[in-house]
Amino acid sequence: MSAAPDLLNIAEEFVARPAREHPQKPAVIGVERQATYAEIETEMNRVAQALRDYGCCPGDRVLMVLPDSLEFIAAFFGTAKVGALPVPVNSMARSSDYQHYLRDSGARFAIVHASQFDEFKSAVLASAVQYTIVAGTRARTPSAGQGTTIAWDVWLPKIAGSVPTHQSGPSDPAFLLYTSGSGGTPRAAVHRQRGMVATSTAYARGVLGLRADDITLSVSKLFFAYGLGAGLYFPLSAGASTVLFPERPRADLIADAVRRHRPTVFFSVPTFYATLLREADSGAAMDFSSVRMAVSAGESLPAEIFTRFRDRFGIEILDGLGSTEMLHMYMSTRPGQTESGSCGVPVPGYRVKIVDDEEKELPAGEIGNLWVSGPSRFIEYWNAPEISRSRMSGEWYLTGDKLWRDGKGFYHYGGRADDMIKVSGMWVSPVEVENALLGHPAVAECAVVGQFDSVGLTRPVAFIVLRRGVEQPGGAMDSEISAWLRTRLVGYKCPEEFHFVPELPKTATGKIQRFRLRS
């Protein structure tokens, strides 16, 4: 992929150009309707024509509530083609979430899958939506109660010719992505046209070495920044194929998709890698022999999960660190250069630094605040100028993450700044404690947070999901894990209280919501 030209539109770069180069190559597999590159372009143009016919203007926001599908791809790039801004959001959310997305984005158009229409329709009231397009059904579409509701097949023209592409520049806004909300209300990061080109060049090709003969499968959904790259524009940028999986991910279903479609590059999150290992430990059949590369992001990959997955499947997971604000990975381990418990080194073209609270850069070995700069940094948070200013300093994005660098130059994740726990005047990284807990043979998942004790002092508290088949007889497990943990960590870092739970609260993208555990 060449450097961004004076004019750049992601619809041209990621759909029209690849369709000219290899029109009949399969681009999308694994869903009910598979598609070649030429067919993706045809569907994109139909959406672009429909938007133009219904008065969509450059700069308009088009909210998308769609599962991973050909409709998602056509809607996303069709919107971009006419100069409007696609706004993909969680396709498994609740009405209150959609109320926030609609109110915040001010979208005039909404494209919603029929399976989510009942949850969505009440959110349309008192919004700016003029047209709600319902995909996934040929039946007569019920009214959303606001504006006009149209069935997808009725809305789209039978044939759309070569729809003119809106002329935009590399720095112009291209799309909005909402943060996952792991720390509260989601905010929309506004991304430039050049962002996808930058991450595809620097990470997908520069780090992963993604090739035209690759087949990708992403457990993370397309509405999430990580999944949007892994499952959509990374493979399109390389002329590869992507396996789309519209359903909620379950270990047995994902394992079956891997067996049937034979992906070569597999993207997931630490919690799902742990789930796959639990299934494999219980005797479930899993065949990852086609996978040449496995990638993890979303949260720090615990060393225990890295080691167990390598021992079970012979694959060293590449751990990466990215964010919605930076669009994708800005730090990663490399093939053949993995380091258990490390998130690697900066991706080419990105700069990072670790600073203290006075913004003084820290030496190796000291934990501090991570700042990052690079070509895919977001423009701003939509409708939030004060928050935008607080998270940027010149070219730098202030991530809110705590990291430290070892003597070999590898970076290690210490958690979110607001997750750090101060115990007896000393900082405790919940990630360090969680990594130690995951080494216990009974622990499947865990999260550590700070809570006030009876006299108002902060103490670390652990929430633990036990492995399948492990019993917890009358508090004996508390004592066993506590004693085991104290052989591995200094005393002040060890939780004094343990809660055994069936599951941990998570965002739709798999991040543990520690703020819910603190409440």
Does the pLDDT at position 89 exceed 60? yes
* pLDDT value of position 103: 95
Helix (H, G, I), strand (E, B) or coil at 513: coil
Cα separation of 357 and 368, whole Å? 8
- State which of 178, 209, 237 marks the end of a domain: 178
Q: pLDDT, tens digit, for every residue of 436-445?
A: 899 999 999 9
Cα separation of 491 and 469, whole Å? 30
Residue 101 inside a domain? The answer is yes
How many CB atoms sit inside 10 A of residue 283's CB? 6
Does the pLDDT at position 140 exceed 60? no
Residue 253 inside a domain? The answer is no
284: tokens are 């479930």
Looking at residues 322-351, what average pLDDT do you find?
92
Looking at residues 5-29, what average pLDDT do you find?
95
* pLDDT value of position 5: 62
Please state, for a pLDDT cut of 70, what percent of the chain lies above it. 94
Looking at residues 128-134, what average pLDDT do you find?
94
Looking at residues 291-314, what average pLDDT do you find?
90
Q: How confident is the model at residue 179 (pLDDT cuts 50, 70, 90)?
A: confident
Residue 493 inside a domain? The answer is yes
Q: How confident is the model at residue 332 (pLDDT cuts 50, 70, 90)?
A: very high
Looking at residues 160-164, what average pLDDT do you find?
84
514 against 114, higher pLDDT: 114
* pLDDT value of position 515: 80
- For the chain, what is the domain count? 2
Q: How confident is the model at residue 349 (pLDDT cuts 50, 70, 90)?
A: very high
Establish how many alpha carbons lie within 13 A of residue 121's alpha carbon, considering only the half-sphere containing its beta carbon.
Answer: 16
Q: How confident is the model at residue 300 (pLDDT cuts 50, 70, 90)?
A: confident
Q: How confident is the model at residue 125 (pLDDT cuts 50, 70, 90)?
A: confident
Residue 344 inside a domain? The answer is no
Residue 197 inside a domain? The answer is no
Helix (H, G, I), strand (E, B) or coil at 13: helix
Residue 373 inside a domain? The answer is no
Looking at residues 298-324, what average pLDDT do you find?
90
Looking at residues 271-288, what average pLDDT do you find?
89
**280 contacts: CB under 8 Å, gap ≥ 6:** 286, 312
CB 74 within 8 A of CB 47: yes
Q: How confident is the model at residue 181 (pLDDT cuts 50, 70, 90)?
A: low
- State which of 178, 193, 215 marks the end of a domain: 178
136-140, 232-236, 261-265, 388-392: range with lowest mean pLDDT: 136-140
Does the pLDDT at position 93 exceed 50? yes
Please state, for a pLDDT cut of 90, what percent of the chain lies above it. 68
- State which of 152, 178, 204 marks the end of a domain: 178
CATH number reported for the structural domain that contains residue 108 in this entry: 3.40.50.980
Give the residue ranges of DSSP H helices in 293-361: 303-313
Cα separation of 111 and 310, whole Å? 41
Q: pLDDT, tens digit, for every residue of 447-503?
A: 999 887 765 667 899 999 998 888 776 668 888 999 999 888 878 789 989 999 999
Torsion over CA of 468, 472, 476 and 477, rounded to 10 degrees?
30
Residue 219 inside a domain? The answer is no
CATH number reported for the structural domain that contains residue 446 in this entry: 3.30.300.30
Does the pLDDT at position 138 exceed 70? no
Does the pLDDT at position 139 exceed 60? no
Sheet holding 265-268, edge to edge: 35-36, 26-29, 241-243, 215-218, 265-268, 293-296, 318-322, 329-332, 345-346
* pLDDT value of position 3: 46
**Residue 503 is part of which domain span?**
420-518
CB 395 within 8 A of CB 407: no
In this structure, which amino acid lies at residue 395? E
* pLDDT value of position 141: 60
Looking at residues 349-371, what average pLDDT do you find?
94
**189 contacts: CB under 8 Å, gap ≥ 6:** 176, 177, 178, 179, 324, 325, 378, 380, 381, 382
Q: How confident is the model at residue 335 (pLDDT cuts 50, 70, 90)?
A: confident
Q: How confident is the model at residue 359 (pLDDT cuts 50, 70, 90)?
A: very high
Residue 452 inside a domain? The answer is yes
